[in-house]
């Protein structure tokens, strides 16, 4: 986990996406509802990440916040699945395994509609707080559970607030994974050294992400659409000579709400109006990169 302040620098790789696309767009839906902190699951405190700050003491159930999360699994996930269907956009679902154990119907539907199941931990918890062996067990448990509930073995990995210093080594040791998204540091996939071997990182984004509705930085639905649109416009223009990648992060309990889903719909409609736009699952981006820009290419 060494830091790299240089990256591609001014010598950007001459990327060629499928069908000469100028931009690859990765839509990501985080499915976490039912895996958050809960006294009912034996945690010492309730989930503190929610729509509004809660006055409920940490050691008591926060029923409003619980119901806020329930909206995502009861309603939001279906709204987002239908929206992606209407625009024929394949997405990657960052899936907490326990959450899908508690909603078998959604677990089956995500891959059935052509979306990727990516490992998001067994629970929606901080893996950087775990010791090495605890994290190792959690990764294995996640793989087993998601494979069982969805019928699709996760090939990518991403956890709450990013990786620990051990995550990449453990993911490689587990085997079967192709990439992780535990970085926010580029507009293109890149390789890092793990156990003296190249490992693929498909970077994510916390700025083109609906979590900003309650973490700050966004006032209204129009702000989110305009931010996505401006990001697309910049990367699409740059893609005329050097194609890039754009990540959009969504949550069932946030963008799955009626008004906020309209911002996503407007963005998809806008981006679909341009030629040379490749909407792709992260696994598709990873496979393309490995095939065309693997370590032998020197990127």
pLDDT in tens, the chain (299 residues): 789 999 999 989 999 999 999 999 999 999 999 999 999 999 999 998 877 778 899 999 999 999 999 999 999 999 999 999 999 999 999 999 999 999 999 999 999 999 999 999 999 999 999 999 999 999 999 999 999 999 999 999 999 999 999 999 999 999 999 999 999 999 999 999 999 999 999 999 999 999 988 776 666 889 999 999 999 999 999 999 999 999 999 999 999 999 999 999 999 999 999 999 999 999 999 999 999 998 866 55
Domain count, the chain: 1
Q: Which domain holds residue 197?
A: 20-293
Q: Would you say residue 13 lies in a domain?
A: no
Distances (CA, A) of 299 to 183, 195, 283: 17, 18, 19
Looking at residue 249, which CATH number applies to its domain? 3.20.20.370
Distances (CA, A) of 194 to 169, 171, 296: 6, 10, 16
DSSP 178-203: -EE----S-SS-EEEEETTEEEEE--
Q: Would you say residue 48 lies in a domain?
A: yes
**β-strand pairing of 190-194 with 197-201:** antiparallel
Q: Would you say residue 196 lies in a domain?
A: yes
- Cα(57)–Cα(149) distance, integer angstroms: 34
pLDDT of the residue at 219: 64
Q: Would you say residue 8 lies in a domain?
A: no
Upper half-sphere CA count for residue 205 (Cβ side, 13 Å): 22
Q: Would you say residue 91 lies in a domain?
A: yes
Q: Could you count the other beta carbons within 10 Å of the beta carbon of residue 181?
A: 27
Q: What is residue 243's three-state secondary structure? A: coil
């Amino acid at each position: 986990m060494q830091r790299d302040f240089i990256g591609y620098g001014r010598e950007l790789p001459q990327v060629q996406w499928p069908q000469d696309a100028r931009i690859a767009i990765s839509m990501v839906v985080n499915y976490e509802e039912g895996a958050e902190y809960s006294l009912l699951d034996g945690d010492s405190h309730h989930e503190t990440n929610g729509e509004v700050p809660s006055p409920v003491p940490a050691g008591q159930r926060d029923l409003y916040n619980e119901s806020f999360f329930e909206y995502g699994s009861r309603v939001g996930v279906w709204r987002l699945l239908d929206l992606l269907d209407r625009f024929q956009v394949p997405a990657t679902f960052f899936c907490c395994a326990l959450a899908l154990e508690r909603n078998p119907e959604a677990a089956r539907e995500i891959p059935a509609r052509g979306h990727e199941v990516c490992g998001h931990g067994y629970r929606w918890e901080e893996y950087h707080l775990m010791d090495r062996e605890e994290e190792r067990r959690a990764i294995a448990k996640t793989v087993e559970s998601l494979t069982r509930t969805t019928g699709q073995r996760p090939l990518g990995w991403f956890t709450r607030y990013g990786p620990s210093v051990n995550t990449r080594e453990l993911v490689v040791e587990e085997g079967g994974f192709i990439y992780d998204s535990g970085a926010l540091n580029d507009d293109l996939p890149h390789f890092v050294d793990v156990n003296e071997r190249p490992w693929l990182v498909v970077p994510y984004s916390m700025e083109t992400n609906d979590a900003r509705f309650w973490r700050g930085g966004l006032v209204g639905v129009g702000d989110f659409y305009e931010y996505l649109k401006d990001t697309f416009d910049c990367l699409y223009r740059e893609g005329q000579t050097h194609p890039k990648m754009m990540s959009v992060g969504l949550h069932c309990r946030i963008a799955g709400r009626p008004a906020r889903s309209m911002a996503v719909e407007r963005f998809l409609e806008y981006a679909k109006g341009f030629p040379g736009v490749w909407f792709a699952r992260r696994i598709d981006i990873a496979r393309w990169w490995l095939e065309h820009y693997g370590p032998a290419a020197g990127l």
